[in-house]
Amino acid sequence: MELKKDSNAVSIDMLLIVHSEKLRAAQGTHSDRQADPGALLQRRGGLQGVGNGIRKWQKIEANDLPGHLAEKQHPQQTQVITSYDNQGTQLTVEVHPRDAMPQLFKKFSLAKRLQGDKNGNTRPRQPGGKDAHAYPWDRSSLKSMPLDLRQFEKLDIHASQVMVKSGLDELVSDLVQEANSDLERVRAIWIWICHHIEYDIVAAQEKDRQAFKITDILQTQKTNCDGYAGLFEKMCRIAGVQCMTVPGYSKGFGYQIGQSFSGEFDHAWNAVFLEGRWHLVDSTWGSGLVDKSTSKFTFLYNEFYFLTHPALFIEDHFPDNKNWQLLKPPQSLRQFENSMYHKSEFYNKGMLSAYPETSMIRTVNGKATVTIESCAPTLFMFMLNGKQEHGLLSLRENGMKLEVYPPSTGTHKLQIFAKGNSDIYSSVLEYTLKCNYVDFGAQLPSELHQPVGPSWFSEKMGIIKPSHPDPIIHTTDGRCSISFGVDEGISVLASLHGDDGPITEETQRRYIFQLHQEKRTELKVQLPHAGKFALKIFVKKRQEVGNYIFVFNYLLCCTNTKVNWPMFPESFGNWGHDNELLEPLSGVLPANRNIPFKLKLPGIAKALVKGQDTWPLTLNNEGYWEGSCSTAGCQEVYVMVLENANHNFYSYILKYKVNAQ
């Protein structure tokens, strides 16, 4: 018997009564066949999601009934066989002993269902207004019901450690030992499946997918999405919880932005009835992910797909029956295809919204802008065509702003990553950029990293109250001075980077001179030529060994083609944290000239300048060491200090070059 899917169908109660041979003879209803439940099952083949385009007909073993078939058997008692599909169509058969008088079922209205599972639980109604959640998402919760995940800590540990012993019934019994409610029973089943069943990529890629038998899934601990959903439904029914398998389209492995959906459904998930309301789960996606590059499955538990809020679930799950969206109003397939796809990590990492709200962006005057709002300060990064280039990403207290300048016309792939509370950046958004114009004047240095400009993160790392809060600094003469407060015990390091010109790895710090005054650090910057430069800021705790940590960078811009500043003098390790250089600031001195020197060198016993000869510096009343030296006959000039008056060893702290004559 085939039950056809119809959106206007209603549940019809059918009662098949089998009388004794004597009674049938008296009524003239002779038959040479008895109503044998086993024969009935073999003829029907096992009803599994009729018409859903996913699950197939399969032969049913006596000890392996599928999730959509529940049976009650007692010796010499009425046997009830109930079958139903996920659209609500239901067929119930009573088989009575020969001498028993049949009793009619209690009648229900057409809006209700008959007895549903093997434990005798009443099968609830189809989803309706009571189940619907408002669309779009109201930001209240990622879940469709109030949950405190801490309440599941012990249960989750127990469920993840349960092993298969003999069969499914014993497995479910072991899982729900620690469960005290339907919610906890569902949770235990969910955790076990997500931690023990591996996604079978080979089976999933077969064009003619066969339904998985429960015994095979338990033995191999592998299956495809149909098997995940069928197993979850079967286990819930054994545990006495109503559950349905929902087929539909999905934005999962292999999904391409903007693609349309048609033909056979490509995924299956579940709806579970808890506390008088339907809720959605996807144990396939909760168990792990498939690496696109290797096509290998990795167990990686994803809490997001357990009782997901329907307004979020619809972003990557479109059911065959709109009622299973559990939304008001429901979304059309076209809306599903065109809507922005926020990956589960978008919400797991605390994101709330993103703009633009479409996955396809067209640049305006060569630029595309993306903003993200998050519920807490979050670190972000981006990639354009696989590289961290051609964009300005600035952090905000609750989110970020990204301006992207594609280097060429055409189509570009933009990926955005977020860090959240973990140490790993995860992909949260993907856009396709359409660029028909390139603004060559907006080209950015390749060494400009993310983020750009000071933020909550730089403050967290010990850099506070910056003189320049904006990420971009414009200078007309090629010079600028940037200052900021520094927390106690923090050392700061800066470097300048450009795409062309004299800046090399050896000289990238020579165009910056660092000064310290009380609790503030000043960076004096001189640009070697016009253009755009990345000024990178690093920090490190002085008492800790290891490398400096990148915090942020500024974008320095200068359009004055006459700019040609030399490097600052080279400083050595003995250049003290509180030292200050007033003059000369240029690292290259003219030949055959007397050059004045003025420095603040706290705690120094003596100071001198050494060229062809040696010239001592004297300490004035303001605490500065002053003096002059001649550059005649020398190629280099050094500033040297004596730290201890009882010693005769002088240390080099600064080095200048002298122009050739």
Given a cut of 60, whether residue 124 has pLDDT beyond it is no
Instruction: State the SS3 of 245-307.
Output: EEEEEECCCCCCCCCCCCCCCCEEEEEEEECCEEEEECHHHHHEEECCCCCCEEECCCHHHEE
> Which of these is catalytic: 225, 435, 558, 634?
225
Stretch 636-640: mean pLDDT, rounded? 95
- What's the CA angle centered on 482, arms 476 and 488, to 5 degrees? 175
> Which of these is catalytic: 267, 309, 317, 412?
267
Tokens of 223: 């299956």
Q: Is 225 a catalytic residue?
A: yes
- Distance CA(22)–CA(6), nearest Å, equals 41
Instruction: Provide φ and ψ at 94, rounded to 5°.
Output: -105, 135
Stretch 265-270: mean pLDDT, rounded? 94
- Distance CA(561)–CA(406), nearest Å, equals 26
Signed CA dihedral, 466, 468, 472, 474: sign only? negative
Residue 608 is predicted with a pLDDT of: 95
Residue 70 is predicted with a pLDDT of: 36
- Distance CA(628)–CA(616), nearest Å, equals 8
Q: Nearest Cα to 267, choosing from 280, 279, 278?
A: 280
Q: SS3 for 152?
A: helix
Which amino acid, residue 37? P
> Would you give the DSSP letter of residue 151?
G
Is residue 66 within 8 A of residue 230, CB to CB? The reply is yes
Is residue 284 within 8 A of residue 302, CB to CB? The reply is no
**pLDDT tens profile 188-199:** 999 999 999 999
Stretch 86-97: mean pLDDT, rounded? 48
Instruction: State the SS3 of 335-363.
Output: HHHHCCCCCHHHHHCCEEEEECCCCEEEC
Q: Which residues pair with 199 in a beta bridge?
A: 223
> Which of these is catalytic: 85, 226, 282, 316?
282
Task: Give the count of beta carbons closer than 10 Å to the beta carbon of residue 145.
Answer: 12
**pLDDT tens profile 524-561:** 999 999 999 999 999 999 888 889 999 999 999 999 99
Q: Is 282 a catalytic residue?
A: yes
> Would you give the DSSP letter of residue 602?
T
CA-to-CA separations, 297 to 210, 293, 344, 346, 409, in angstroms, rounded: 20, 11, 17, 21, 36
Tokens of 482: 């940037």
Look over the chain and give the mean of its residue pLDDT values, rounded to a whole number: 82
Q: The pTM is what?
A: 0.75
